[in-house]
A and B are shown apart, each in its own frame.
Chain A
Amino acid sequence: AQKITQTQPGMFVQEKEAVTLDCTYDTSDQSYGLFWYKQPSSGEMIFLIYQGSYDEQNATEGRYSLNFQKARKSANLVISASQLGDSAMYFCAMSPDRGSTLGRLYFGRGTQLTVWP
C-alpha cells in the first residue's frame, strides 16, 4: 500500500524568504514518481514538479526544487524567494511507475502555505 504523510497542516513564510514543505512516503514499489501540486483558493490542481525514484539529481523547476532523500523516503518541496501568489494548499503525491497503475496518484493531506508581506 502507498502512503503519503504531510505533517505540517500550515506554514507561514515572509515574502522573499525560502520555505520547505515536508513530505514522507511509504511504498514497496521500486520504481515510482513523486509529485507536488499547488491548489490555490480557486481550486484547480497545478502541477509543480516531478521526481523519479531513480533520478540521482534533485528535480528543479524555476523557484521550486525537490529535496529527494530516497533512503529516508522523503521528498520535501523547497520554494525559494516566496511570493504572495504562492499562498495556497500544497499536495505531495506519489504514483507507482509501472504498468496499468501508472498515474494512480496517492495524495497527502496537504500543507496550507501563507506568504505574508
Chain B
Amino acid sequence: NAGVTQTPKFRILKIGQSMTLQCAQDMNHNYMYWYRQDPGMGLKLIYYSVGAGITDKGEVPNGYNVSRSTTEDFPLRLELAAPSQTSVYFCASSPGTGPFIVTGNTIYFGEGSWLTVV
C-alpha cells in the first residue's frame, strides 16, 4: 500500500522557470491538500480539493495552480518560480467522508518534496 506518493523528492529551479510537483494517492480519498513548510515553520495550506474537478485556495495560494482531474492525482504547478518559493512541499489526503469526531479519519502525508529556487 503506497499511500501518498510525491515526485520529485528534490528539485533545483532557476528563477522564472516552471515545474509541476506530482502527487498521487491510492487510498481512494476524496480530499487532497498541498502544504508548504518554510524553514523553522509549521506547514501552511496552499490549495486543497474535495473531489475530482473541485479545488479551492488555502492560506498561501499565490504563485501556484492546481488541478484535480481524477480522484488519485493532485498536481501542483509552480509558474515563474521565485526564491520565496524555496520550501518543502507536502501533499496529503484524507477520506473526507465525515467529521473526524464520527469517523476518526486522519490525514495522510506524502514524504515531501524539497524545492530550491536559485
Contact = CB atoms under 8 A, between A and B. Distances in A.
Contact of B111 (A37, A44, A55, A105): A44
B107 A105 contact: yes
A109 B35 CA distance: 14
Interface string A93-110: 101011010111111111
B56 A100 contact: yes
Q: What class of interface size applies to chain B in its complex with A?
A: 20 to 34
Given A53-B101, A105-B107, A100 B45 contact: no
B101 A44 contact: no
A45 interface: yes
Interface of A is mostly: loop
15 contacts: A31-B99, A37-B109, A43-B88, A47-B106, A54-B101, A91-B42, A93-B42, A93-B43, A95-B100, A97-B99, A98-B99, A100-B50, A103-B48, A103-B96, A106-B45
Interface of A: 4, 31, 33, 35, 37, 43-45, 47, 50, 52-55, 91, 93, 95, 97-98, 100, 102-110
Interface of B: 31, 33, 35, 40-45, 48, 50, 56, 58, 88, 90, 92, 94, 96, 99-101, 104-109, 111-112, 114
